[in-house]
Amino acid sequence: MLASYVAGAWHTAPDEGVVVVDAATGDPVAHVSATGLDAHRMVDHARRVGGPALRRLTFQERAAALRELATYLDAHKPAYHDLSLATGATRRDATGDIDGGIGTTFVFSSRGKRELPEGHLLADGDVEPIGKGGTFVGQHVYTPIPGVALQVNAFNFPVWGMLEKLAPAVLAGVPTIVKPATQTAYLTAAVVRDIIDSGALPEGALQLVCGGAGGLLDLLGGEDVIAFTGSAGTAAVLRGSNAVTRRAARFNAETDSLNCSILGPDAVAGTPEFDLYVKEIAREITTKAGQRCTCIRRALVPESLVDDVIAAVRARLDKVVVGNPRNATVTMGALVSLQQRDEVRDAVASLRRAAQVVYGDSMSVDPVDADATSGAFMAPVVLLCNDRDRSEPHEVEAFGPVTTLIPYRAPGDDVSELAVRGGGSLVGSIVSYDPDFVATVVAGAAPHHGRLLILDRDCAGESTGHGTPMPQLVHGGPGRAGGGEELGGMRAVKHFMQRTALQGSPGVIAALISGR
């Protein structure tokens, strides 16, 4: 039974709860239940103990605490990697989640050290002269919100998903309650236990709920932040809660998205960009078995290059070894659960109404070192949608190893019009060495995307890839992607702070800012 961390003590539910099983073997891993959990005590503890303790620290002390925390977790990460295998992730997949999460914490620590002031007040922009005589000025400042940050996270990044929100909240001086997705909560819980044991953060800075979020939302309001990652459906439920609609809790959503990757007409077979494009598609749909919110779901390809792309993607996917991630020869593990696999199969069936399968079979797989009936395995699937009027490829998210090729006419079509049919995305990529094509697509697609990767032979060596959010850059996107924003350097810290316009005499304002 996973314990929750509530008001300084570990709470174990008295009932059986939900049994979570190993994604690859079907063996039980943990029981998860929030029965008996006192939501009121948690919120109260965060507000009365965690918040004040964090706010007593200066920005610089919080940055130092984050470094101590990241160093501690880094030393303990082999245990997280072992545990992560039960989620279906390969060891390579786990690097993005575990090392990525710890790395993000290090980045926030060092950026905070470099960019935040010594004291407790963060100035925003310059002093605004208001009075003609210069005796009355304005200055925007940020201070930590006095409430709590409730994280509600998706199953696919149990470590990174928590740390990428925790690090900026700590820098801001705001306590966190984390509610991981039930399916992979055991991994988050293991890391939370180490965070508590590390002593790097003051008591109350982090609490954990394993199981349903229950009454927590009922207790939140204008002093608090709800930071959600998951499906658009759940985001709509939370966004419609009284906490948000009546009491004006801040709400940030990172949801699903039909991300595209666009191949430029110049990038014909034999060019470096063509190879980069194909490599990226194959890597995206097989990393974490395609269970990344940023995964390429729509591959927009010039009509004349479709056959070449299919052939090249097929050659790469033929080398993929699906199976138990504990077997070293396996390159693609399992989906997180049989239920998730069935949902992906259903989504592929919906896509097939508009598209034909040109690679793979969602219903058939022969996993290495595993049983296809008890493990949540699925082979990579590529579809081709030749009918540009169909909406399915732009609307149906198959959250697994699935992508759909969509041909466009070049010259003729404005490919950014196809890109924006996703209704707002976390990320898109443009793979081309033609600056005019790139400029046209960026102008059309940027307002509909949180991030755009322009991939070519010059940056490929250092590129972090289509699917990887970086702590320095914005993660989030408009419309279907949730309309939220995370990361993006120190902007992320401000999401947990209140911006206030101070007005007064220049001397008083300057003294407040400098902390003297």
Active site residue 210: no
d(CA 324, CA 291): 16
Among 156, 176, 324, 425, binds ligand NAP (CB under 6 A): 156
- Selecting among 164, 210, 254, 295, the annotated active-site residue is 254
428 binding ligand NAP? (CB under 6 A):
no
> Residue 152 Cβ, how far from ligand NAP at the closest point, in Å?
5
Angle at Cα 37 formed by Cα 175 and Cα 196, nearest 5°?
Answer: 40
485 binding ligand NAP? (CB under 6 A):
no
Among 87, 153, 207, 429, binds ligand NAP (CB under 6 A): 153
Q: Kindly state the tokens that stand for 291.
A: 């269970």
What SS3 state is found at 512? helix
Quick note: the x/- pattern for ligand NAP over 308-347, rule CB under 6 A, is ----------------------------------------
- The DSSP letter of residue 14 is S
> Residue 469 Cβ, how far from ligand NAP at the closest point, in Å?
7
152 binding ligand NAP? (CB under 6 A):
yes
Q: How far is CA 191 from CA 81, 217, 372, 450, in A?
A: 11, 24, 30, 29
Among 254, 273, 280, 284, binds ligand NAP (CB under 6 A): 254
> Residue 110 Cβ, how far from ligand NAP at the closest point, in Å?
23
Contacts of 267 (CB under 8 A, 6+ apart): 273, 274, 277, 305, 431, 432, 433
396 binding ligand NAP? (CB under 6 A):
no
- Taking contact as CB under 6 A, which single stretch among the options 60-68, 225-233, 268-276, 350-358 is the one that binds ligand NAP? 225-233
Q: Count of residues binding ligand NAP (CB under 6 A)?
A: 25
Active site residue 293: yes
232/502 with CB nearer ligand NAP: 232
97 binding ligand NAP? (CB under 6 A):
no
Alpha helices in 85-125 (DSSP H): 91-94, 100-115
d(CA 60, CA 171): 8
Query: In this structure, are residues 292 and 101 in contact, taking their beta carbons and an 8 Å threshold?
Result: no
Query: In this structure, are residues 330 and 322 in contact, taking their beta carbons and an 8 Å threshold?
Result: yes
11/55 with CB nearer ligand NAP: 11
Q: Report CA Rg, the chain.
A: 24
255 binding ligand NAP? (CB under 6 A):
yes
d(CA 463, CA 473): 14
Q: How far is CA 418 from CA 267, 302, 391, 404, 424, in A?
A: 18, 12, 10, 13, 12
Strand partners, 322: 332
Q: Kindly state the tokens that stand for 420.
A: 């924006």
231 binding ligand NAP? (CB under 6 A):
yes
The interface with ligand NAP within residues 259-298 (CB under 6 A) comprises 293
DSSP notation for 418-486 = HHGGGSSEEEEEEE-S-HHHHHHHHHHHGGGEEEEEEE-TTTTTT---TT---TTSEEEESGGG-SEEE
Residue whose beta carbon is closest to ligand NAP: 230
Among 80, 106, 142, 155, binds ligand NAP (CB under 6 A): 155
Q: Kindly state the tokens that stand for 231.
A: 């499906």
- Taking contact as CB under 6 A, which single stretch among the options 127-135, 228-236, 260-268, 302-310 is the one that binds ligand NAP? 228-236
403 binding ligand NAP? (CB under 6 A):
no
Provide the b/e sequence for 444-456 (b: ≥16 CB within 10 Å).
Answer: bbeebbbbbbbbb
- Taking contact as CB under 6 A, which single stretch among the options 197-205, 234-242, 274-282, 409-417 is the one that binds ligand NAP? 234-242
Strand order in the sheet with 250-254: 9-11, 4-6, 206-208, 176-179, 149-152, 225-229, 250-254
The interface with ligand NAP within residues 159-188 (CB under 6 A) comprises 179, 181-183
Among 69, 85, 145, 154, binds ligand NAP (CB under 6 A): 154
d(CA 308, CA 291): 26
> Residue 45 Cβ, how far from ligand NAP at the closest point, in Å?
20
> Residue 515 Cβ, how far from ligand NAP at the closest point, in Å?
36
224 binding ligand NAP? (CB under 6 A):
no
152/172 with CB nearer ligand NAP: 152
350/498 with CB nearer ligand NAP: 350
426 binding ligand NAP? (CB under 6 A):
yes
452 binding ligand NAP? (CB under 6 A):
no
Phi, psi at 208, each rounded to 5°: -130, 135
Quick note: the x/- pattern for ligand NAP over 359-378, rule CB under 6 A, is --------------------
212/222 with CB nearer ligand NAP: 212
- Selecting among 260, 293, 295, 385, the annotated active-site residue is 293
Q: Which residues are catalytic?
A: 254, 293
| Residues found near ligand NAP in the complex (CB under 6 A) | 152-156, 179, 181-183, 212-213, 229-231, 234, 237-238, 254-256, 293, 397, 399, 426, 482
